[in-house]
């Protein structure tokens, strides 16, 4: 079950990544320009090169801020009665944490609905559960055990998809036609199927 969940969440994240790239062509250009420089004419982006792809990394961070694959984290249960920000929490209360809402909270994020990968160049926030306004993989003992593996898969897959191909919408479809509605009960998928046209790009 955990393996299936990891596959589904990784696929959902890649789907949202490609969606945001097509919706933000200036961002796609920056990612592809970085890939071209780092690849030095190589056909494939290897794992060893991932550490040099700083813009790709902040792009993925921004995608999972707006589109966490698991918008509602695993439920917790309070061990004792407590009070949080004025709310009384009885003992054995089941608590569900809305990671999706945290990622769009204007108390923590400037212009939270705006897609802006550069915001992560200016802050130390990461996805490893240290900052409660950015917890796409959860936090504490119940943080996603496949977090590091998932991020590595997303980075290497996305890097090579963008390095080897140019991507565009099918003829007659514009960016304005793309609907961003989310579906799924546990995992956040695009409600509308994403269709893109790949064209082989020159890597040299």
Q: Is the pLDDT of residue 149 over 90?
A: no
Does residue 185 sit in helix, strand or coil?
coil
Does residue 166 sit in helix, strand or coil?
strand
Q: Which two tokens stand for residue 148?
A: 């590091």
Query: How many CB atoms neighbour CB 156 within 10 A?
Result: 17
37-52: pLDDT as tens digits: 999 888 899 999 999 9
pLDDT of residue 61: 95
2 band by pLDDT with thresholds 50, 70 and 90:
very low
CATH fold label, 2-70+113-200: Cytochrome p450 (1.10.630)
Cβ-based burial of 16 (10 A; exposed 0-12, middle 13-18, buried ≥19): buried
Q: What is the C-alpha separation between 126 and 120, in angstroms, rounded? A: 9
Query: How many CB atoms neighbour CB 154 within 10 A?
Result: 21
66-99: pLDDT as tens digits: 999 888 877 888 899 999 889 999 999 998 888 8
Q: Global pTM?
A: 0.88
**Residues 137, 129: contact at Cβ < 8 Å?**
yes
Q: What is the C-alpha separation between 89 and 61, in angstroms, rounded? A: 32
Q: To the nearest whole percent, how much of the chain has pLDDT over 70?
A: 94
For the ranges 11-15, 113-117, 133-137, the lowest mean pLDDT is seen at 133-137
* C-alpha dihedral (106, 110, 115, 120), degrees to nearest 10: -120
pLDDT of residue 19: 96
- Any binding-site annotation on 17? no
Mean pLDDT of the chain: 88
Q: Is the pLDDT of residue 3 over 70?
A: no
Among 20, 149, 28, 53, smallest CA distance to 45 is for 53
- 26's enclosing H/E stretch is helix 25-39
Q: Which two tokens stand for residue 55?
A: 């813009």
Q: Is the pLDDT of residue 65 over 80?
A: yes
7-61: pLDDT as tens digits: 788 999 999 999 999 999 999 999 999 999 999 888 899 999 999 999 999 999 9
pLDDT of residue 6: 59
Cβ-based burial of 52 (10 A; exposed 0-12, middle 13-18, buried ≥19): middle
Q: How far is CA 15 from CA 10, 107, 116, 162, 182, in A?
A: 9, 28, 18, 13, 12
Q: What is the C-alpha separation between 189 and 6, in angstroms, rounded? A: 14
Q: Which residue would you say has higher pLDDT here, 192 or 37?
A: 37
């Amino acid at each position: 079950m955990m393996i299936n969940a990891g596959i589904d969440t990784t696929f959902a994240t890649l789907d949202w990544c490609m969606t945001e790239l097509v919706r933000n062509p200036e961002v796609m250009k920056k990612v592809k320009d970085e890939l071209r420089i780092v690849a030095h004419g190589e056909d494939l982006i290897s794992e060893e090169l991932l550490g040099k792809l700083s813009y790709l990394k902040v792009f993925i961070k921004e995608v999972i801020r707006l589109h966490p694959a698991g918008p509602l984290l695993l439920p917790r249960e309070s061990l004792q009665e407590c009070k949080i920000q004025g709310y009384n929490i009885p003992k054995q209360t089941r608590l569900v944490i809305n990671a999706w809402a945290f990622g769009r909270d204007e108390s923590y994020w400037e212009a939270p609905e705006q897609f802006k990968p550069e915001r992560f160049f200016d802050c130390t926030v990461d996805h490893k559960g240290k900052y409660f306004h950015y917890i796409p993989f959860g936090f504490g003992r119940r943080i996603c055990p496949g977090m590091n593996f998932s991020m590595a898969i997303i980075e290497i897959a996305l890097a090579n998809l963008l390095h080897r191909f140019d991507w565009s919408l099918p003829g007659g479809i514009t960016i304005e036609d793309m609907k961003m509605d989310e579906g799924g009960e546990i995992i956040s998928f695009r409600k509308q199927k994403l269709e893109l046209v790949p064209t082989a790009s020159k890597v040299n």
